Amino acid sequence: MKLDVDVLRYLSKDDFRVLTAVELGMRNHEIVPTELIDRIARLKHGGTYKVLKNLLKHKLLHHDSSKYDGFRLTYLGYDFLAIKAMVNKGVFVAVGRQIGVGKESDIFEVAREDGTVLAMKLHRLGRTSFRAVKSKRDYLRHRSSYNWLYLSRLAALKEFAFMKALENHGFPVPNAVEHNRHCVIMSLVQGYPLVQVKQLENPEVVFETIIGLVVRLAERGLIHCDFNEFNIMIEDDEKITMIDFPQMVSVSHRNAQMYFDRDVECIFKFFRKRFNLSFEESLDDIDGSDEGKDEAGKPCFSAIERSAGFLDRELAASGFTRKEEEDIQRFIEGRAESDTNSDSEDVDLVEDENEASTIDGNSSDLLEQNEGCENQGKVESCEARESSGSEKE
Ligand code: ADP
Ligand code: MG
């Protein structure tokens, strides 16, 4: 996806006011009625309509008149709101090249004022499809709370909270710098995903380190749930960093054993195929013991001794609520189920007219309460910075 941050520099205060008004409206509407946007934005002399046209031109909004005249944010529109809020906060000053495309994320480099380069992950939960919700009537009834905006924001919130907690407990993860909406800023890992690596100096050591991480995580009460060669970064000195945390679960999850075994199996399979490792030997060579392992040398979930309360304690402090955890988990698990169910189809998430709207734009100035809309932040692309050779306004 193209993220043309140059556009960001030309957007006015009113543009952001209207963009923010659409975001607020989307708390209760998949498509926000134009007239509601106007009421929230409160621009003088019908200014909202002109601004909407401009935002539409830059693909920050999508126009929909199938049921009534209205707009919704595009990913790009949501990206701009998050980027602007973080630029205003001084988190970074420039957005650079795209360095990763995940299943449900886009990763870019961003630069701080002092030139430090960080990674920006923009979550796109539900990008592939919303088919997961098709067979679940209760999802559909409450589907306005399952839109991509909410889910992507939850994914970012969860990822940030878990990354911080893991970092505090000495796990090799990127440093969690900041989050806003669906966006997480973290330190840039100077390496490659393991999947791109064809040769290792010490495959046994790397393998042991990685399996050791799965076990240590479980001891601290966590399972990664997507622990594979795509989510393990490795540097030239073969240092490991794990990434990608929105789907992590507690060891008390009802499917914990299955998730744990799956993570372990992925690593075994990859090292067997890519580096020809034969595990019984390598395990004996390295630590000389088979304790807590099955006959194939794999760690047993049931043999892991847990230190209680880690997950709950850390996450209660992070502001990531139980309800939010349930919402995102239900989506992720529902999606996994639907992936194995070939007759599921995509669902159109256009909102029912009878769904209640609690935002009417009348009670108070909603925009004044919404952070980031009044300050005029500046952002520039790395290219612009490099070519000008100086700080730009
Ligand atoms: P997804 O959830 O979409 O799989 P990931 O977090 O796994 O997203 O990131 C996708 C890709 O982006 C990774 O495989 C990696 O190449 C790159 N990436 C992600 N985070 C970082 C980081 N902190 N530093 C460097 N590259 C990263
Ligand atoms: Mg990934």
Location of structure tokens 């070939």: 342
Asked if residue 92 has its Cβ within 6 Å of ligand 1, the reply is no
| Beta strands 94-102 and 105-111, pairing class | antiparallel
Domains in the chain: ranges and CATH: 5-79+351-388 (1.10.10.10), 87-187 (3.30.200.20), 192-339 (1.10.510.10)
**DSSP 3-state assignment of 96?**
strand
Q: Which residues on neighbouring strands pair with residue 109, listed in sequence order?
A: 119
Asked if residue 117 has its Cβ within 6 Å of ligand 1, the reply is no
**For position 296, what pLDDT does the model report?**
83
Residue nearest to atom 17 of ligand 1 (CA): 100
Q: CA 125 to CA 154: how far, in whole Å?
A: 9
Residue ranges, the chain, pLDDT below 70: 1-2, 127-146, 280-289, 308-309, 312-313, 316-317, 338-393
Asked if residue 158 has its Cβ within 6 Å of ligand 1, the reply is no
Asked if residue 96 has its Cβ within 6 Å of ligand 1, the reply is no
| Beta strands 232-234 and 192-193, pairing class | antiparallel
Q: Which residues on neighbouring strands pair with residue 342, listed in sequence order?
A: none
Q: What are the pLDDT digits (tens) for 153-208?
A: 999 999 999 999 999 999 999 999 999 999 999 999 999 999 999 999 999 999 99
Q: CA 372 to CA 385: how far, in whole Å?
A: 23
| Beta strands 232-234 and 240-242, pairing class | antiparallel
Asked if residue 193 has its Cβ within 6 Å of ligand 1, the reply is yes
Residue nearest to atom 25 of ligand 1 (CA): 189
**DSSP 3-state assignment of 47?**
helix
Asked if residue 121 has its Cβ within 6 Å of ligand 1, the reply is yes
**DSSP 3-state assignment of 153?**
helix
**For position 312, what pLDDT does the model report?**
65
**For position 340, what pLDDT does the model report?**
60
Which chain residues have CB less than 5 Å from ligand 2, an ion? 102, 230-231, 244
**For position 138, what pLDDT does the model report?**
44
Q: How far is the CA of 245 from the centre of ligand 2 (A)?
A: 8
Asked if residue 228 has its Cβ within 6 Å of ligand 1, the reply is no
Q: How far is the CA of 316 from the centre of ligand 2 (A)?
A: 25
Catalytic residues: 226
The answer to whether residues 31 and 64 touch, using CB atoms and an 8 Å cutoff, is: yes
Q: CA 106 to CA 83: how far, in whole Å?
A: 13
Residue nearest to atom 23 of ligand 1 (CA): 188
Q: How far is the CA of 34 from the centre of ligand 2 (A)?
A: 37
Q: CA 208 to CA 292: how far, in whole Å?
A: 14
Q: Residue 97 carries which side chain, given as an amino acid letter?
A: R
**Nearest ligand (C-alpha, residue 194):** 1
Give the ligand 1 atom nearest the CA of 230.
14
Residue 196 vs residues 98, 199, 203, 232, 281: alpha-carbon distances, Å: 17, 9, 14, 10, 25
Which H helix or E strand runs over 119?
strand 117-123
**Nearest ligand (C-alpha, residue 245):** 1
Q: Where are the alpha helices (DSSP H) in 96-254?
A: 137-141, 148-168, 203-219
The answer to whether residues 28 and 355 touch, using CB atoms and an 8 Å cutoff, is: yes
- Alpha carbons within 13 A on the beta-carbon side of 285: 12
Residue 189 per-residue DSSP state:
P
